[in-house]
């Protein structure tokens, strides 16, 4: 496998670095968001909930953009966009990122609604936080599966 990596053209280094960086930053910021959402639900803390929402919007979404943009850059350089049937690992990556964006947006909206309810003193925000935490946890699991698929390249 080392010989195969040595064959990769040098002009792939930047997009590949950005792709790996975006993936690891995404998983890391998702883990932080999960911890903050759980803490906000347990402590009923508006400040912790605000931090969780900031992590989702200022950490997770930019990481997702870097991950997805660099994935398209690599796919274009590697010629994977012209292939009729791309390998399974590329399909897993596309499904994970496309579904991931939807889960990120839904979780961010739920966290925002919960923050709004907490500020006004309304009840019911705990259920929204529980759902948002579950969706983000599901996204972490999907990203770990995609990470496995990208590194092992199963057929």
Quote the pLDDT of residue 21.
95
**DSSP states of 88-113:** HHHHHHHHHHHHHHHHHHHHHHHHHH
Quote the pLDDT of residue 120.
79
Quote the pLDDT of residue 79.
80
* Separation between Cα atoms, residue 105 and residue 6, nearest integer Å: 39
Quote the pLDDT of residue 3.
55
**Looking at residue 76, which CATH number applies to its domain?**
1.20.120
Two tokens at 67? Answer: 């991950």
Quote the pLDDT of residue 109.
94
Domain range for 43: 11-152
Quote the pLDDT of residue 85.
85
Two tokens at 143? Answer: 């990203």
The answer to whether the beta carbons of residues 23 and 71 sit under 8 Å apart is: no
Is the residue at 2 inside a domain?
no
Two tokens at 89? Answer: 């690992």
Long-range contacts formed by 81-90: CB under 8 A, 24+ apart = 87/153, 87/155, 88/149, 88/154, 88/155, 89/149, 89/150, 89/152, 89/153, 89/154
Is the residue at 57 inside a domain?
yes
Is the residue at 5 inside a domain?
no
Domain count, the chain: 1
Q: Please report, for residues 76, 85, 101, 112, 133, the alpha-carbon distance to residue 88 in angstroms, rounded to integers and kept in the order given.
A: 17, 9, 20, 36, 29
The segments of the chain whose pLDDT lies below 50 read: 1
Is the residue at 6 inside a domain?
no
Is the residue at 109 inside a domain?
yes
Is the residue at 4 inside a domain?
no
Over residues 85-106, the pLDDT tens digits come to 888 888 898 999 999 999 999 9
Quote the pLDDT of residue 32.
96
Is the residue at 1 inside a domain?
no
Quote the pLDDT of residue 135.
95
């Amino acid at each position: 496998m080392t010989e195969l990596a040595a064959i990769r053209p040098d002009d792939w280094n930047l997009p590949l670095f950005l792709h790996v960086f975006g993936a690891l930053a995404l998983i890391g910021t998702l883990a932080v968001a999960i911890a903050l959402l759980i803490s906000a639900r347990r402590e009923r803390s508006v400040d912790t909930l605000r931090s969780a929402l900031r992590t989702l919007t200022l950490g997770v979404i930019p990481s997702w953009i870097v991950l997805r943009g660099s994935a398209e850059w690599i796919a274009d350089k590697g010629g994977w966009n012209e292939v009729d049937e791309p390998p399974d690992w590329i399909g897993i990556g596309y499904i994970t990122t496309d579904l991931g964006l939807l889960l990120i947006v839904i979780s961010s909206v739920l966290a925002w609604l919960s923050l709004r309810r907490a500020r006004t003193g309304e009840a019911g925000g705990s259920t929204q936080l529980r759902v948002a935490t579950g969706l983000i946890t599901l996204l972490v699991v999907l990203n770990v599966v995609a990470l496995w698929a990208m590194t092992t390249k199963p057929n």
